[in-house]
Amino acid sequence: MSAKVELETETTMDVTQSEIKLDKPNQPIFGFLFFGVVGLLCFNYFIQVQFYLEDKYAPDFVFYANILYGLSNNVGQLIIIFYGSKLSFSNRIYSSCIVLALILIAFPVLAAFDPSDSIGMGFGLLLVFGLGFFNAIIQSAGFGLAGICSAKAMEYFSLGQAVCGLVPWPMIIGFRAIYTAAGVGSAVESATAFSSLGFASLITLLFVPFYKYQLSQTDAVKKAIDNIESTKDSAVIRHRTKLEIIKSTLPLAISVWFVLFVTFIVFPSQPAKWTPSFSGYPPNFYANMMIYVFQVFDVVGRYMPAWGVNLGMKQIKIGSAARILLIPLFFLATYNISFFANDITKIVIMAIFAATNGLVVTWAMIRGPSQVDKDEADVASYTMSFFLVNGIFFGNMIALIIKMVSP
């Protein structure tokens, strides 16, 4: 599908809740879907190979890497909120894609040298900081551009972020099987890491010419970029200060924060502890399968708006709060209490948990920019993006505490 088609650009305060439609024709949905994929592709591949990197770098690398990634991602998001208007929008995309691609290749290259624990930990964490920081830049850029363009653009950018989680695990399994069959011996994991991270690096680089010569040439995207660039070095053009814009966006931003906070309190930490109701799975397959169930139904949830499932402000708030009721079910499944020990029950729990995550997050991100005037939509979108990743970070912190105190 060609990206050279026009989007609707009405995402202002005069667009009411009921007027936000997702069935508008002639939208470059592939362009924003691709943008969403690139927004999280590097991170998704990194987490699939992080335990291989820990074996090569240093003990506890994964523990410190996950914390540092969350911190650097939050720092990057905050910088974009308050200083993003001073930076060239397109250059943000070009530079972040190039740096992220180089970082992905650097991970297995460093591992190939079999570094000492101190060197492995030091350089590995430096790469992780860059991964989190530049991922924040590309992700916030996508949310900002989609927020200005249309609800449809935001829907498909959000969908792309979920879709990219479906690719790494099957691909890594495939590479591992190929190299095992080829008889590469002890180099199977190294070859798998090089191939999978190299693929993600290539796709990330390919987005640069796609954005430059396709997506950015769309009339409505051009207008959106002009709108973003027009505020550069000028606070007069905006109707209000950034703090006032953030205040208007805050109710939905808090909803997004709480959705991700609840999700990452139990995911993926609790499913990693789940045991199957019958034997026969290969090592680690069951936990990875359950994580993949989440990724599949997260995509389903993010696509529900296209099927006509519409959430208003009140429903978003209720939905984000109500998901906390699902948390006890994860612990019942962890300890195999009664019928929660059954695999089907666990899959159903995960499917509901994931679908509601995708649905509520997508509608909150769609409606967030509509709470402000169109020349403020980029800041509103950056704010929503920050609260999203901040919710993930604090959810992971609670999960870590639970892990430390649980038997």
**Tens digit of pLDDT for each residue in 341-350?**
899 999 999 9
26-48 pLDDT tens trace: 457 889 999 999 999 999 999 88
Q: Could you count the other beta carbons within 10 Å of the beta carbon of residue 97? A: 25
What distance in Å separates the CA atoms of residue 147 and residue 383, rounded to the nearest whole number?
11
Exposure string of 320-341, with b = 16+ CB inside 10 Å and e = fewer, is: beebeebeebbebbbeeeeebb
What distance in Å separates the CA atoms of residue 249 and residue 368, rounded to the nearest whole number?
6
Q: Could you count the other beta carbons within 10 Å of the beta carbon of residue 278? A: 6
Mean pLDDT check: name the lowest of 53-57, 210-214, 283-287, 299-303: 283-287
Between residues 394 and 379, which one has the greater pLDDT?
Answer: 394
What pLDDT shows up at residue 317? Answer: 94
Between residues 252 and 18, which one has the greater pLDDT?
Answer: 252
What distance in Å separates the CA atoms of residue 94 and residue 78, rounded to the nearest whole number?
20
First vs last Cα of the chain: how many Å apart? 52
Structure tokens at 146: 């989609």
In this prediction, residue 283 has a pLDDT band, given cuts at 50, 70 and 90, of: low
Same fold, 25-236 and 238-407: yes
What distance in Å separates the CA atoms of residue 231 and residue 379, rounded to the nearest whole number?
11
Q: Which residues contact 81 (CB under 8 A, 6 or more apart)?
A: 140, 242, 246, 379, 382, 383, 386
* DSSP for 107-164, written as a single string: HHHHHHT---HHHHHHHHHHHHHHHHHHHHHHHHHHHHHHHHH-HHHHHHHHHHHHHG
109-149 pLDDT tens trace: 999 988 999 999 999 999 999 999 999 999 999 998 988 88
What pLDDT shows up at residue 371? Answer: 80
What distance in Å separates the CA atoms of residue 62 and residue 35, rounded to the nearest whole number?
27
What pLDDT shows up at residue 327? Answer: 95
What pLDDT shows up at residue 185? Answer: 82
Question: Is the model's pLDDT at 21 over the cut of 80?
Answer: no
183: left (phi over 0), alpha (psi -120 to 50) or beta: left
From the centroid of its chain, how far is CA 196? 18
In this prediction, residue 273 has a pLDDT band, given cuts at 50, 70 and 90, of: confident
Question: Is the model's pLDDT at 5 over the cut of 50?
Answer: no
In this prediction, residue 25 has a pLDDT band, given cuts at 50, 70 and 90, of: very low
CATH H superfamily, domain 25-236: MFS general substrate transporter like domains (1.20.1250.20)
Query: Where do the H-state alpha helices sit in 164-277?
Result: 168-181, 188-213, 219-230, 242-266
In this prediction, residue 14 has a pLDDT band, given cuts at 50, 70 and 90, of: very low
What pLDDT shows up at residue 238? Answer: 54
Structure tokens at 241: 């200060």
251-262 pLDDT tens trace: 999 999 999 999
Q: What is the mean pLDDT of residues 244-251?
A: 88
Between residues 327 and 63, which one has the greater pLDDT?
Answer: 327
Helix (H) or strand (E) holding 354: helix 343-367
141-152 pLDDT tens trace: 999 898 888 888
Question: Is the model's pLDDT at 294 over the cut of 80?
Answer: yes
Exposure string of 129-142, with b = 16+ CB inside 10 Å and e = fewer, is: bbbbbbbbbbbbbb
What distance in Å separates the CA atoms of residue 133 and residue 37, rounded to the nearest whole number?
17
What pLDDT shows up at residue 207? Answer: 96
What pLDDT shows up at residue 291? Answer: 87
What pLDDT shows up at residue 363? Answer: 93
What distance in Å separates the CA atoms of residue 77 and residue 139, rounded to the nearest whole number?
9
Q: Answer whether 0.95 is exceeded by the pTM.
A: no
What pLDDT shows up at residue 16? Answer: 43
Q: What angle do CA 97, 98, 99 make, to 5 degrees?
A: 95
Extents of the domains making up the chain: 25-236, 238-407
Q: Which residues contact 134 (CB under 8 A, 6 or more apart)?
A: 76, 95, 96, 99, 100, 103
Kindly list the distances between the CA atom of residue 398 and the CA atoms of 164, 226, 265, in Å, as whole numbers in the listed order: 26, 41, 6
Give me the phi and psi of 350, to 5 degrees please: -65, -40
What pLDDT shows up at residue 285? Answer: 81
The domain over range 238-407 is classified in CATH as 1.20.1250.20: yes
Q: What is the mean pLDDT of residues 40-65?
A: 89
In a 3-state reduction of DSSP, which class is residue 380?
Answer: helix
Q: What percent of the chain has a predicted confidence (pLDDT) above 90?
A: 50
Question: Is the model's pLDDT at 206 over the cut of 70?
Answer: yes
Classify residue 185 as exposed, middle or buried by CB count within 10 Å of its CB (0-12, 13-18, 19+). exposed
